[in-house]
A and B are shown apart, each in its own frame.
Chain A
């Protein structure tokens, strides 16, 4: 008989071992964990040019060029990206064209100086040619289409005075030519259908038209004709037919029809007002590129005109704006088709016409389109052969919110929300609380759906489901799974990410899977008929319901400008965070230069906002007496500062009672309190950075190795400013180390006091910085060491440094509870250190957690468009070469010259957030975890635990093992109890 105690002990040991195994946590993500807590979305941006694969290539693909400088190949059936290249911002791509039939796509960028060819199937670059060109307003790319000449498949590039012919096979320049005429700007290239002659048309000055006849093979000038016009031209020209050029004059009221004969130029002037009545606004020529039909765009209409030689024009049809006309598409050898899309009520009308019969219509389809997509902006027509061998048409449509749709057979086949490629600002909102009695099922689907779902699940469990049904079950599970619910969760992981895009669209994304919950194209931020382009500026919290107004939905405030100019009057809009409905919209009578969210709230929990206009007057919002009362109480202690990069001055202001010449009581004038003038011959402001307003700091003091205490200088008014020498403000390498320096400043924004100032010689920008707690980390280039560096400054408060005596603390003889004021001269101590860092950086942020207890990590957007999490301990100024035992215990890492890049600490693991622009860290309710949202052209979201998840069990924790262990223990107890009972009984019988 085995003694029972041994068994117990063994079980206990086993349990301990199992528990310790389960708690072994990992810093990085395993391969099978990818996508559990993170999501990644790929976008391309607003499409500005699209070319389709030719009919014969079999693959249904389209290559697009976007305003985000992306070249992408999309699947026409689904809208998925086959391949994509994000070209750098300093190399803007102007033109895109298809060459060699179906193999090569050619792009022209950097003002016509770089010509690249890409392989169509996989997007590999085939060749790149650098061209020497003069400055041009608009470089042009022309691919010879005529096969007779194009044995060597020439591509023509026109830029300013230069013309180049480049072979599209290998990118070799077959000839290049600079015309010696001053001020010449080449506008068009016309291919002669018969022989090897090309015509280049250019404008010299504003009224001299030049026609060059060139040999396409050698570039020889065969003939040069010049013709002067009586009126200046505005430079907008299009080719009406193969030999008629249409040009607008400078006042945009007359059209010139210019016929180019082989020997001479003849022209005719037409008044636009004679043709089309009631035109208003700026008239534009739309590049239709078709035979004999041109399109004129005014602010209210788009008119189609038929060209009758050079004798005149005839209006075929006028469309009310908003409408868009596509390029002409060659259908047969003689005939071309083009599409016109216009709005009719809530639908859009898609009309396809042939140029040979412009009054007739091949297709007229009505398509329902989501209201929140705004007006149509561009259309790209494509044709296909239907099953009955007739011509079918489909089109890519670009909408006002930058989304891309494919319409075919009167339906939207797919749509891409590409406005998300140009996010301006991000905020978050909590989800509604799960209410008792209202189940999630009620919110998400009706009864039938619910029954169907359960039937499917039943099938799944009985192994009766087929592959499709299994996929449906999987999707349903994902949808109703814990992380994707539309209610608030205990850990605060589920939130709404509310983003504002450049197009003025507000989109709410769910953090669980990144799906769009609602979207709203703001009316106030849409372009008006007068052609003004409003710009979206910022999104911030407006009302976050708390205890008193819990029943109300939270709302957000969107601030924009009604024009591109900074002096344009502002617009405000308030949206409901849960539904996206616009609650209120306001046109301001002043401009918006600076937006200051205040920390105070009025009685209805509205966050108070100060908006500073270009006359440095501050305006209070919301405009209510209640808010005013709250604010007047705070006003003497409200200070603001402005950083003027142009004049190199930082100014601090206080607020005064009311505006001078205005009876608006919500307007406050400002008084300049301090200014810092950087000498413009030695310093130029590169960056200014402050702490995040909502940052929480847990510990005021830091206990260092020898049981000493250092008090952090925790001021919300700390501003970090970096200036660089004017010579070093250019690109890296443009300045010698002797003439480059970087000065870092720590400034108190209330008094303008310079707390610390340090010069880095031989350093230059670009500077990126992050300020958090009592430290600043900034990144710059060291010209002497030829490497990037990251420097850290930590600032400590010396005035509280003698509060170390425990007796003093007990007796209350300390100044820890004394109020802190900026007007007292601070005694600060500064520690700093710099380290080499391998990468150049696109953005830096610091992690933020709910209570600020968790140690910080730096989130670094690297040049490879990835996000690297670097522990703040690596950029600690107190690192030393040989840390003592005590320092090691404190967690000080031995000093190294370079910061380590640990491959497993990439947040984005294998993914890339193309054209990364911003990193946002959002605290969750769980102290250990922070939510990280990264945006650029792509979006990426993940959860990060900088000090590992110490306050919760990880997903991998084996609950089964725990239960089994407990059950085994209970069983063992019962068994041993029975044993002992039996034994006792036996003893008693003895």
Chain B
């Protein structure tokens, strides 16, 4: 699919392509999802998150792209195409192509935007090679040129996955491209679902690649918080000393009160015993005691 020259035509074409793909999935081999982490590329927060219903998401993003396009058209831009190559065990061969727009900003830096991906269909031999990979639990590798503007440098970023991770209903792949300006730093190729160790052989029902691509750029680290201003303010201020919250009486003195209470209780019981002892020991005749004492004397 050639990149359209006029940006206004792009959404229309895209819609057309998508509707075609919905109508006859076997005729058109690739679903695509355009996702972009770039801030300048329309409202990033409003974008839908990547999910399996690819055509719908793509349709949404394409319809929403219109205002972004007009602003992008103001800046100088040109189309770039670069190939995705894959290795089915016999060396790297082209397997698809990316097309993107190169955008130059005012201060000379260039970025790639509007990345679109077209996957080639697996032809007979390749299908067999892929089956062989599945059988022997081999690696399926892809690679991209790291510098798309200067293909002569031949620096490739490579990524691989065990071939058995890919097949689900169709061949589901998830490609994350890490960008730094126009340079592709790395590509992470992965499956959509999980892929835990005992990987059973599973043939896909449809030999069609279902691709999700994500473009990622670097995050900015937040600035280190600086409290110098506050400190100066505090020093110049009236010198308010923050008082520690007043503790309750019990919280402050419990460690004294409990032993004291114990001692007092002990003393009380002892004091209560004392008169008894004295009473018993000295044998003083008392009104209450008399009946008790009387039988003993007898």
Contact = CB atoms under 8 A, between A and B. Distances in A.
Interface residues on A, range: 35 or more
Contacts of B165: 823
A832 B146 contact: no
Contact of A673 (B141, B183, B186, B197): B141
B131 interface: no
Nearest to B144: A677
Contacts of A649: 155
Contacts of A819: 196-197
B123 to A, nearest CB: 24
B155 A836 contact: no
Interface stretch (B4-12, B14-22, B39-47, B173-181): B173-181
A791 B162 contact: no
B251 to A, nearest CB: 15
Interface stretch (A401-409, A756-764, A908-916): A756-764
Interface string A824-837: 11000000111110
Given A679-B183, A743-B218, A897-B227, A821 B188 contact: no
B295 interface: no
B221 A754 contact: no
A399 B146 CA distance: 52
Interface stretch (B24-32, B65-73, B94-102, B258-266): B258-266
Given A823-B162, A897-B226, A758 B186 contact: no
A675 B218 contact: no
A678 B185 CA distance: 6
Contact of A757 (B146, B218, B259): B218
Contacts of A758: 218-221
Contacts of B82: none
A699 interface: no
Contact of A751 (B185, B190, B193, B219): B190
A56 interface: no
A987 B270 CA distance: 17
B186 A752 contact: yes
Nearest to A835: B224
B180 A5 contact: no
B220 A759 contact: yes
B227 A896 contact: yes
A674 B181 CA distance: 21
A548 interface: no
Interface string A314-357: 00000000000000000000000000000000000000000000
B180 A677 contact: no
A700 B224 CA distance: 29
Contact of A824 (B178, B196, B281): B196
Given A675-B158, A823-B161, A782 B146 contact: no
Nearest to A789: B224
A452 interface: no
A9 B261 CA distance: 12
A676 B263 contact: no
B195 interface: yes
Given A672-B158, A677-B155, A825-B174, A753 B188 contact: yes
B185 A677 contact: yes
Given A677-B157, A821-B194, A6 B266 contact: yes
Given A761-B220, A789-B224, A673 B158 contact: yes
A759 B218 contact: yes
Contact of B224 (A679, A782, A818, A987): A782
Contacts of B207: none
A676 B185 contact: yes
Nearest to A747: B186
Contacts of A671: 139
Contact of A895 (B191, B225, B281): B225
Contacts of B162: 823
B137 interface: yes
Nearest to A679: B183
A990 interface: yes
B111 to A, nearest CB: 13
Contacts of B194: 821, 824
Contacts of A5: 266, 270
A679 B146 contact: yes
A751 B181 contact: no
A9 B192 CA distance: 71
A679 B221 contact: no
Contacts of B219: 756-759
A679 to B, nearest CB: 4
Residue among B137, B162, B180, B226 with max Cβ neighbours from chain A (10 Å): B180
A820 B165 CA distance: 14
Contact of B196 (A756, A785, A821): A821
Contacts of A896: 227
Interface string B202-222: 000000000000001011111
Interface string A796-838: 0000000000000000000000111101110000001111100
B160 A673 contact: yes
A5 B225 CA distance: 61
B228 interface: yes
B225 A676 contact: no
A13 interface: yes
A674 B159 contact: yes
B270 A9 contact: no
Nearest to B141: A673
B285 interface: no
B255 to A, nearest CB: 10
Nearest to B147: A679
Contacts of A824: 190-191, 193-196
B280 interface: yes
Contacts of B161: 751, 823
B137 to A, nearest CB: 7
A119 interface: no
Given A757-B216, A758-B221, A791-B221, A825 B158 contact: no
A6 B262 CA distance: 10
A785 B218 contact: no
Interface string A365-377: 0000000000000
Contact of B225 (A13, A752, A761, A897): A897
Contacts of A613: none
A425 interface: no
A9 B266 contact: yes
Interface string B47-75: 00000000000000000000000000000
B224 A677 contact: no
Interface in A781-795: 782, 785, 789, 791
A824 B267 CA distance: 72
A200 to B, nearest CB: 52
Interface in A886-924: 895-897
Contacts of B262: 9
Contact of B146 (A9, A677, A833): A677
A585 interface: no
B185 A753 contact: no
A759 B221 contact: yes
A785 B195 contact: no
Interface in A192-207: none
A654 interface: yes
Contacts of B263: 6, 9
Interface string A742-776: 01100000011110111111000000000000000
A400 interface: no
Given A654-B160, A673-B141, A824-B193, 17 more contacts: A9-B262, A677-B186, A678-B185, A679-B183, A679-B185, A751-B188, A754-B178, A758-B221, A759-B218, A785-B226, A819-B197, A821-B195, A823-B161, A823-B165, A823-B190, A824-B195, A834-B222
List of 4 A-B pairs having minimum Cβ-Cβ separation, nearest first: A679-B183, A823-B195, A677-B146, A676-B186
25 contacts: A3-B266, A9-B262, A654-B160, A673-B160, A674-B157, A675-B156, A677-B157, A682-B181, A752-B158, A752-B159, A752-B188, A753-B176, A753-B190, A754-B176, A758-B219, A819-B197, A821-B195, A823-B162, A823-B165, A824-B190, A825-B174, A834-B224, A836-B226, A897-B224, A897-B227
